[in-house]
Each structure stands twice: as structure tokens, then as C-alpha cells.
């Protein structure tokens, strides 16, 4: 009897073995290490489960057989019956969203407009669903009884700075001084394996695009639910930091982003499929890339980093459809070219002047304005005597050809690492009785500049920080009037501003109603030390010295509002803390300026007066700037804080927690300064208090957790 039972058990086991899918066996043996056993990605390979539908069997077999060596996917020896079994298994795969719900299933539904939609479910919640139809379009839907209502964004944020002119100003007024106290968090999305995001979200057609290094996420801008994710392995053993990515450009059906190893790529914005991949420069020669490209006409324009490592900069334009390079402008001339006379010495070969930050574009003038960085071996100019063009410049380039129209150099022969990579803000405004096309920039060197952007005429240059030791003024010829004894030395030289600059790449904004330019500033200094770094080598930095922050004066972070017509400071808002945050500003037609405050709060202040009106604590050091958009009739504010994308909107006045500040805290009483003098009037103090400011935090907690109590209070 025992022998008989043993035979039965062995027979069942043999049948189980025989039922193991040979296609799965092939996948697990050859593919799972990179792409995960379920096809949803692993440490060294992207998720593929949601991408398979875009390939026919013949295309998929060719991809598996030939690989993508340039992207780290090796060719395989799979052929014949094994390939057939593998393809059959791949067709059974179903992807998963970040939340773990199964997607890939087909669904047919009815909309409130009477349409029938059928497609692949990309994400789903109690109230929302994301569906991709056979035409590859994504539909964002909200439940309405047994039907679904299609939603989208009425006002997009289509570029890094909201518009191609670089000004973070919005005409949206739903969030205003009267209701900003009811601003509360609506949703949050966490980017996996990130510490501090530097991205500004871009919103087009209801879809939000956010990036980390070598990855891009498409989200439902109304709920934050993931629609797709593109990921490729980070480049190993890079000498230049590839730990940040600041965002994307969008044009038509394409999303463009840079990779850590200095490539620019195009993705299908509905599916995340890679459409083309073009190398900007060889990362083995110290090149990298980190910022959002700029879409201009039929081109996508981008730059490179690597200036601290002796990589010579350039601006490059590529055809949006094909990825083919159309033109390239080099920011360090070759010996014998115009501008090379400003480099006296051997360091022209590794001069730097990187182009790592996003420029601005005027479609009417068809001109691109691109900022450039500091020269390499920044603290030692012994082998680069002269002005060192085109470092620390703004370049006005003809969009179609890349031809230089005009340039301006802010800090000739820079020895202090003062990139000009602060956003060039393009505005049209009255200037001395006539409307002029202006370009505004608060520069890292401590001066605020106004140009006529048609020809580069300098209209105004005024200092905007108190501590400035390197130059007394900008002369009539447009050059800084330098002060003596400010060069780095072997012993160390104290210079103001600090190496971080009077400001940096975090975003400024201009409000045409107030004629004020809002910029987060640093008041601090550095000790600069000079040394000989030796000969340039691939894989090593090329600094020529070092710097450290001076303890005196005590570093301060100060939001400043600058009158663009006079250069005078209209008001200031000092912020307590160590002055090491990098959050920028957003201003609105409703009279607000929204910014990342030094202590980690997202704060809203009165754009005319500077008094705080609202804040919410994120407990993260800012590395990004806020943006705004309108989705399904509701204005959102979004910002990257730590590894999170967080959005805010006005809490519904009919909701149970309305007017009680649930999800926000009252702002600190911080007095703005007008022309350097604090004015803590009674009205100003009251303006900083939310409607619930008389309540204790314990009472607020009870209100937020007890709707009935909130309604009766």
C-alpha cells in the first residue's frame, strides 16, 4: 500500500514539473536578472511589462536577439524554438503600478458625454482611472455614478519655467490673498530611491512629467497616480556628478530629457517608449547633463555640465522628430577662432564654460538666450589670462542656425565660481516711456541687470546684496569695476559674495502688476584658496583650489523684491536658518509670491508688501522651485520636496474641514523689511495669521479628525 501511494505522489510531482512553462524558464534564465521575474524592472534594467504591446513579435525578437549595446542591453543567442517559447510567455505578462495594482487589463466604459472608451487600464482608484486606448492616447477619468467623466488640465505648465520666456508668473487667480489660508495638500507622489529632487514638474494635457536621474514618470496631474515610468541604469564610475535631473521639455507627442552621461533622449509622452537617443558628448571625457531641455520651434535645445572637471561647454540643437543634431555653439573658442584671444595660456584646451542650465526663448524674435558657467580651474587663473569668453555669459543665439547675435559677460576672468546660470527672464515692459523687450537677471556676482534683449543694450546694473567686496559697480562700458586684493591666494582670501553666489539657479519671477522681481538671495562670503591642480586628467576634477564659507558675516537667506526700473529693493523677507537651501519663487496675478522658505516651509507672501500669508512645513531642504496649473477647474501648486512631489489646492469651502487649516500650519510671524527697515504694524501682524490662528494645535488636531466638531466650531 505504501509503495502504491509513493507512486501516486511521484506521478503528480512529475506532472507538475512537466507543466512548468518553458517560456518562463527561458525568461528567468536570460532576462529576469535585469528586468525582474515579473517584468516590472530590477536594479539594472527597466520595467518591460507595459511596453511589450508596442512591439510585434518580429520586432521583439529582433530586439532580444540584437540587444541595445549602447544602453547596456547585450545581444543574446536566443533563436529557434526557444525564441518562440519566450515570445509566447512575454505576451502573458501584466504590468503593475507603483502601488501594486494589476494593470494591463482591457476595460470598456461609458463616459458622461455618451462616448464608449475601450483600452488598457494604466491605473485605478476609488475615484479615478487612467485608460490608454488603441490609438495610444491616455484618457484621465473620474467616476460619476456608473459612468466616467473625462478630465484634463485647462491651464498647463508646459516648460521648466512655465513659459519659454523663463518667467514663473501665472495669470491664474483662483488661489489669492483672500483664500490662501485654506491651501492644503491634495496628493503626494514619492520618487523611489531619491533623496532630494531638483525637478520642476511639467504639465501638458492633464499629464504631469517629473524626473530623477535617468528616469521619467508620467502622472495624472489631478491625482498623482502613475501612468508610466521610463528608467535606465545610472552610469557607473562617472567623475562628474549625475545625481540630479531638473526636468523635461514637451513638444507634440514627445517628452525630452537629458541623461547623466550627457545624452538627450525623446520619449513618447503617452507610453514612455524611447523614440531616439543622441549623445551630446563623451561622458568618459568628464561630460554630464542634468537640466531640462528647451523646446523651441522644431528643435530641442540642451547643454552640458562638467565645467569643474575641465569639459568645454556647448549649446546643441536637435531635430525633435529625428534626434539629428542641427547646430552646435561652442562656449570656449578653439585656438585661432574669434574670442580665443581672451584665453592667454594652455587652459583654453580645458576651459569649462559649461551650459548646464536651461535657457529661455523668444518666439517673436526667434532667439534663444542661454546662460553659461564659470571657467574651469576656477580658483586659479594663471594659465588663462584674459576675459575667458564665453564663460559667465548670456548668449543670444539665432534659433534656426545657432549663430551668435550678441553676448554679455557678467564676470570677466572669473576666479570665484560665479556661473551666469541664473534664469534669463524675458518680459515686455514700459521703459522710460516706451515698451521694450527686456531681459532680467539677478546674477550670482551680486548685481541685478536689465537688458534690451533685441540687441543686448545694458539698461541697468545695480547691486542687490549688502556684502560685495569684489567690485564696486558696473561701469559705463558694462564691465565691473573690480576692487583690489580679491584674487584667491595660497593663504586664502575672503571675498563676498560666497562661492554659492548672491543667488543661484533656483528660479526668480517677475510680476507685471507690481513691477517687482522676486529672488531668493544669499548674504554670505567665502575664503578662496588657490593651488596648482596639475595637468588635466579624465575622471578628475580641475578646480585650481578650494573655498569654504566664512563665519562672518553670519550667512543669511533673504527673499528680495527688486524694482526692475530702478534696481532698488522694495522689501525683504529674511529667513532664519543656515542659508543652505535652494528653493525659488513663483508669482501670481492674484498678488502672491510663493517660495521655498529656508526652514523647509512652502510659504505664500503678499507680492506687494512681503508679509507672509500662509505656510506649510515639509521638513526638507529645498532643491527645487514651485509651479502651478489648473486641472478640472481647480488651481494646483506643485513642488518637489525631498523625494516627493507635493501638490496643494484650496480646500473646498463646503468641505467638513474648510477654513480650519487642516493640513497646514499658521505661518510664523516674520516681518518683511521695506528698504531695510522693519515695519511690524498691527495690520502686518494680523495678515500673517490664518483664520484659525486663535486655536491651539491640539484643538486643530481635534478639528481635523472630527468633521462634526469642525462644522460646529
CA 678 to CA 348: how far, in whole Å? 49
Q: What residues does 407 pair with on adjacent strands?
A: 395
| Residue for grid cell 530590477 | 42
Rounded Cα distance, 523 and 553, in Å: 8
Cell triple for residue 611? 508679509
d(Cα 399, Cα 363) in Å, to the nearest integer?
9
Q: Are strands 612-617 and 601-606 parallel, antiparallel or unpaired?
A: antiparallel
Kindly state the DSSP code that residue 385 receives in the 8-state scheme: B
* CA gap 445, 359 in Å, rounded: 19
Q: What are the φ and ψ backbone dihedral angles of 347, each rounded to 5 degrees? A: -75, 0
417 has catalytic annotation: yes
Other Cβ atoms within 10 Å of 251 Cβ, number: 21
- Residues, the chain: 713
Residues 6+ apart with CB under 8 A from 30: 76, 78, 86
State the greatest distance between any 2 C-alpha atoms of the chain, in Å, as a whole number: 109
For residue 507 the three cell numbers come to 528660479
Task: Retrieve residue 305's grid coordinates.
Answer: 555640465
**SS3 state at 392:** coil
Could you tell me the sign of the dihedral formed by the alpha carbons of 332, 333, 334, 340, in that order? negative
Contact call for residues 393 and 331 (beta carbons, < 8 A)? yes
Instruction: For residues 361 and 355, give the distance between their C-alpha atoms in angstroms, rounded to a whole number.
Output: 15
CA–CA distance, 644 with 193 (Å, rounded to integer): 11
* CB-count exposure of residue 143 (10 Å: 0-12, 13-18, 19+): middle
- Choosing from 260, 414, 417, 500, the catalytic residue is 417
Which grid cell sits at 551?
Answer: 563665519
CB-based contact 217:644 (threshold 8 Å): no
Q: Which of 262, 234, 497 minimizes the C-alpha distance to 356?
A: 262
CA distance 572 to 569: 7
Are the beta carbons of 427 and 438 closer than 8 angstroms?
yes
Phi and psi for 28 in degrees, rounded to 5? Answer: -65, -35
The distance from CA 267 to its chain's CA centroid, rounded to whole angstroms, is: 17
What's the Cα-to-Cα distance from 354 to each of 167, 449, 500, 563, rounded to whole Å? 22, 21, 16, 30
CA angle at 257 for the pair 256 and 262, rounded to the nearest 5°: 130
Q: Which backbone phi and psi does 329 adopt, to 5 degrees?
A: -115, 120
Active site residues: 417
Amino acid at each position: 500500500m505504501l509503495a502504491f501511494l509513493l507512486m501516486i505522489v511521484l506521478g503528480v510531482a512529475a506532472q507538475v514539473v512537466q507543466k512548468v512553462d518553458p517560456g518562463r524558464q527561458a525568461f528567468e534564465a536570460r532576462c529576469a536578472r535585469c528586468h525582474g521575474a515579473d517584468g516590472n524592472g530590477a536594479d539594472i534594467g527597466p520595467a518591460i511589462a507595459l511596453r511589450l504591446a508596442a512591439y510585434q513579435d518580429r520586432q521583439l525578437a529582433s530586439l532580444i536577439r540584437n540587444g541595445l549595446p549602447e544602453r547596456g542591453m547585450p545581444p543574446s543567442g536566443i533563436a529557434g524554438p526557444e525564441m518562440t517559447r519566450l515570445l509566447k510567455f512575454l505576451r502573458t505578462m501584466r504590468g503593475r503600478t507603483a502601488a501594486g495594482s494589476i494593470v494591463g487589463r482591457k476595460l470598456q466604459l461609458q463616459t458622461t458625454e455618451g462616448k464608449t472608451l475601450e483600452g488598457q487600464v494604466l491605473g485605478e482608484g476609488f475615484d479615478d482611472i487612467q485608460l490608454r486606448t488603441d490609438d495610444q492616447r491616455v484618457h484621465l477619468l473620474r467616476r460619476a455614478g456608473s459612468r466616467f467623466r473625462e478630465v484634463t488640465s485647462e491651464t498647463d505648465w508646459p516648460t521648466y519655467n512655465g513659459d519659454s520666456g523663463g518667467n514663473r508668473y501665472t495669470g491664474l487667480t483662483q488661489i489669492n490673498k483672500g483664500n490662501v489660508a485654506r491651501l492644503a495638500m491634495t496628493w503626494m507622489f514619492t520618487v523611489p530611491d531619491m533623496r532630494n529632487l531638483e525637478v520642476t514638474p511639467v504639465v501638458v494635457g492633464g499629464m504631469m512629467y517629473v524626473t530623477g536621474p535617468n528616469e521619467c514618470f508620467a502622472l495624472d496631474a489631478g491625482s498623482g497616480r502613475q501612468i508610466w515610468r521610463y528608467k535606465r541604469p545610472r552610469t557607473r564610475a562617472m567623475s562628474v556628478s549625475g545625481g540630479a535631473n531638473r526636468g523635461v521639455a514637451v513638444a507634440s507627442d514627445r517628452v525630452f530629457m537629458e541623461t547623466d552621461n550627457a545624452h538627450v533622449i525623446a520619449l513618447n509622452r503617452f507610453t514612455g517608449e524611447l523614440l531616439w537617443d543622441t549623445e551630446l558628448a563623451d561622458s568618459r571625457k568628464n561630460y554630464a547633463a542634468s537640466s531640462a531641455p528647451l523646446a523651441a520651434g522644431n528643435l530641442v535645445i540642451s547643454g552640458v555640465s562638467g565645467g569643474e572637471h575641465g569639459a568645454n561647454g556647448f549649446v546643441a540643437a536637435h531635430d525633435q522628430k529625428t534626434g539629428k543634431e542641427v547646430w552646435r555653439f561652442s562656449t570656449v573658442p578653439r585656438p585661432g577662432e574669434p574670442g580665443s584671444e581672451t584665453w592667454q595660456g594652455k587652459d583654453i584646451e580645458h576651459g569649462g564654460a559649461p551650459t548646464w542650465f536651461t535657457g529661455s526663448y523668444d518666439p517673436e524674435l526667434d532667439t534663444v538666450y542661454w546662460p553659461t558657467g564659470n571657467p574651469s580651474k576656477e580658483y586659479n587663473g594663471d594659465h588663462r589670462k584674459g576675459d575667458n569668453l564665453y564663460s559667465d555669459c548670456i548668449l543670444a543665439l539665432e534659433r534656426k542656425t545657432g549663430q551668435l547675435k550678441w553676448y554679455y559677460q557678467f564676470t570677466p576672468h572669473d576666479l570665484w565660481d560665479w556661473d551666469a546660470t541664473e534664469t534669463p527672464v524675458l518680459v515686455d515692459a514700459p521703459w522710460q516711456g516706451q515698451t521694450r523687450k527686456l531681459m532680467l537677471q539677478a546674477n550670482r556676482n551680486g548685481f541685478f541687470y536689465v537688458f534690451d534683449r533685441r540687441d543686448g543694450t545694458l539698461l541697468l546694473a545695480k547691486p542687490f546684496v549688502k556684502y560685495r567686496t569684489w567690485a564696486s559697480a558696473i561701469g559705463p562700458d558694462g564691465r565691473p569695476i573690480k576692487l583690489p586684493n580679491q584674487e584667491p591666494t595660497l593663504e586664502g582670501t575672503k571675498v563676498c559674495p560666497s562661492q554659492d553666489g548672491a543667488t543661484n539657479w533656483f528660479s526668480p519671477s517677475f510680476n507685471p502688476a507690481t513691477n517687482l522681481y522676486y529672488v531668493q538671495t544669499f548674504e554670505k562670503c567665502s575664503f578662496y584658496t588657490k593651488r596648482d591642480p596639475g595637468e588635466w586628467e579624465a575622471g578628475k576634477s580641475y578646480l585650481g583650489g578650494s573655498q569654504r564659507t566664512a563665519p562672518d558675516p553670519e550667512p543669511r537667506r533673504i527673499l528680495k523684491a527688486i524694482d526692475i526700473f530702478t534696481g532698488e529693493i522694495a522689501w525683504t523677507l529674511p529667513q532664519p536658518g543656515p542659508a543652505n537651501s535652494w528653493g525659488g519663487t513663483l508669482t501670481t496675478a492674484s498678488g502672491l509670491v510663493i517660495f521655498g522658505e529656508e526652514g523647509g516651509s512652502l510659504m505664500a507672501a503678499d507680492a506687494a508688501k512681503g508679509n507672509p500669508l500662509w505656510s506649510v512645513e515639509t521638513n526638507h531642504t529645498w532643491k527645487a522651485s514651485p509651479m502651478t496649473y489648473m486641472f478640472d477647474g481647480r488651481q494646483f501648486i506643485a513642488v518637489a520636496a525631498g523625494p516627493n512631489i507635493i501638490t496643494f489646492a484650496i480646500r473646498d469651502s463646503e468641505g467638513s474641514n474648510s477654513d480650519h487649516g487642516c493640513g497646514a500650519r499658521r505661518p510664523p510671524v516674520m516681518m518683511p523689511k521695506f528698504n531695510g527697515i522693519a515695519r511690524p504694524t498691527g495690520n502686518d501682524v494680523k495678515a500673517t495669521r490664518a483664520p484659525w490662528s486663535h486655536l491651539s494645535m491640539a484643538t486643530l488636531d481635534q478639528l481635523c479628525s472630527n468633521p462634526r466638531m469642525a462644522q460646529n466650531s
